[in-house]
Amino acid sequence: MAQPPSQEEIRQLPGAPRSGAKRGRRRRDAEGTMSLKEHLLELRKRLVYAVIAVVVGSIAGFFVYDWLFAALSEPVLTYGEEFEDRQTIISFNAVGQPLDILIRISVFAGIVISSPVWLYQIWAFIMPGLKKSEKRYAIGFIAASVPLFVAGIVSAYMLLPRAIRFFFGLNPEGTANFIEPAVYFTFVLHLFLACGLAMVLPVVLVGINMMGVVSGKDILKSWRWVVMLIAVVSAFAAPGGEVITMFFIMGPLCLLFGLAIGLTLLLDRRRAKKEARREASLA
């Protein structure tokens, strides 16, 4: 009667798993594609990393809360000092409101502080679907997105006093501004995030082009709508009809959008050439 093969003999058979092989590694086909389940698992992992980074950044933001509150409140308080007939203060009108504002500003600081991490997680989710020759471009865009996001936040902070001056200038004579912190800081934080994300938008366009979702020609066809959107955002960020300030904001955004169009067209051309060479070699 034949004896069953031993474990050592089984391991020596062709195609048998090795003892040192890692389990749970994602398997991909020859083109490096991933299944829908693997995409969802990858997305969940990147979201967890991003949330952890924001939480850690928010804890750091808690320790600089007093400084951030004073810096963001300064445009309101200095307006009242400059115009003695206008009283402008930030007034808490609920017992738990200071805690609410503390959490909001700390989380916003956490988003800014952790921007290198969560922006990297976005690109890390995109990069597995890219070819090796294209990954070096994605790494470059990771390095570009962080300073662009921070530059958008800084630009919004520089424009905040102009916005406050414009809106307070609409007050009828003899009135005052007793502003609730929830209303004021919601306006400020939304403005900051809008400007920061607007600066990163061209980098995102290049990223989805690398994924094959949108071609450079499709982005080029929509340039009129994009320029109109940039003009609206710039007019909102520079209220009061100050044309010079509006163009100061609009110029860099249009330049970045044009650069994104050029890069996507270049990537499309390179992909088309590689595809033509591969078809010629198979013919």
- Extents of the domains making up the chain: 35-282
The pLDDT of residue 24 is: 43
Instruction: Give 178's strand partners.
Output: 89
The pLDDT of residue 107 is: 93
The pLDDT of residue 184 is: 87
The pLDDT of residue 255 is: 83
Residue with tokens 């501004």: 177
Alpha-carbon gap, residue 239 to 94, rounded angstroms:
31
The pLDDT of residue 26 is: 45
Q: Which residues of the chain have pLDDT under 50?
A: 20-31, 240
The first and second tokens of residue 55, run together, are 């939480």
Q: What is the pLDDT of residues 9-34, one digit of tens each?
A: 555 555 555 554 444 444 444 445 56
| Whether the Cβ atoms of residue 182 and residue 97 lie closer than 8 Å to each other | yes
State pTM to two decimals: 0.67
| DSSP structure class, residue 215 | -
Burial class (CB in 10 A: 0-12, 13-18, 19+), 18: exposed
Alpha-carbon gap, residue 101 to 95, rounded angstroms:
12
